[in-house]
């Protein structure tokens, strides 16, 4: 039996990530695709927040956000980000680090159109990360945007996706007596092949 049989089996970390997420979708009560996204500002000060992973492509992880918020500013400045998916129900997590590119074409349009009308209008109304005088002011802006944009608003030019191309993926599974199992896939660039290592817990 090889070291990476069972839940760690396979040589493509993207496929393993898809498999783990599919399992989590059956057991996690809320948002199995919720991930803690980490970025750094120009001074190297880290930031982390929860976002929703919307797609695992053949070589990237995709999420969507406002391009004028703090996270986008930090992503654009560094060109890099990291995230962790953690599932209590499975006692597993996936950590990813990599470079980031925008997804602001037809794929972003299609995802935006698939969201509820309220979420689409909310994307127009929110000046993400900037000061807000009150919730009432936000709701008034939503009402104004609704009157202006109607029931089929186009995707805002300041809202779209980011694609994280991993250079490092780590799979972690809880082990007895805190002797966890950890396997790490690493590559220097997205064009290089993966090197796989077992890590100490």
pLDDT at 134: 96
Res 171 pLDDT > 70: yes
Q: How far is CA 39 from CA 72, 151, 164, in A?
A: 9, 34, 12
Give residue-wise pLDDT tens across range 87-134: 999 999 999 999 999 999 999 999 999 999 999 999 999 999 999 999
Res 177 pLDDT > 50: yes
Q: 199 vs 5, which has greater pLDDT?
A: 199
| Catalytic residue chosen out of the listed positions 178, 182, 186, 187 | 178
Poorest-pLDDT segment among 67-71, 79-83, 187-191: 187-191
The C-alpha atoms of residue 97 and residue 115 are separated, in whole angstroms, by: 27
Assess whether 178 carries a catalytic annotation. yes
| 167: CB partners within 8 A, 6+ apart | 97, 98, 99, 186, 187, 188, 189, 190
Provide the b/e sequence for 137-175 (b: ≥16 CB within 10 Å): eeeebbeebbeebeeebebbebbbbbbbbbbebbbbbee
Sequence-ordered strand ranges (E) for 11-91: 34-40, 46-52, 55-56, 61-66, 80-87
Mean pLDDT of 38-65: 97
Res 2 pLDDT > 80: no
pLDDT at 199: 95
Angle at 193 between CA 103 and CA 50, to 5 degrees: 40
């Amino acid at each position: 039996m090889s070291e990476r049989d069972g839940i760690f089996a396979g040589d493509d970390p993207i496929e393993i990530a898809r498999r783990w997420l599919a399992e989590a979708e059956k057991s996690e009560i809320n948002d199995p695709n919720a991930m803690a996204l980490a970025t750094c500002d120009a001074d190297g000060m880290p930031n982390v927040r929860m976002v929703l992973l919307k797609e695992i492509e053949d070589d990237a992880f995709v999420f969507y956000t406002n391009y004028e918020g703090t996270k986008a500013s930090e992503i654009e400045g560094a060109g890099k980000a990291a995230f962790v998916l953690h599932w209590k129900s499975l006692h597993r997590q996936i950590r990813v680090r990599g470079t980031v590119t925008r997804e602001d074409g037809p794929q972003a349009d299609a995802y935006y159109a698939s969201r509820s009308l309220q979420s689409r209008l909310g994307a127009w109304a929110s000046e993400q990360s900037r000061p807000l005088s009150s919730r009432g002011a936000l709701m008034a802006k939503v009402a104004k945007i609704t009157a202006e944009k109607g029931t089929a608003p186009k995707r805002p030019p300041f809202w779209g996706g980011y694609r994280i191309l991993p250079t490092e993926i780590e799979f972690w599974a809880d082990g007895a007596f805190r002797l966890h199992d950890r396997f790490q896939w690493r590559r220097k660039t997205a064009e290089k092949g993966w090197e796989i290592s077992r890590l100490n817990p």
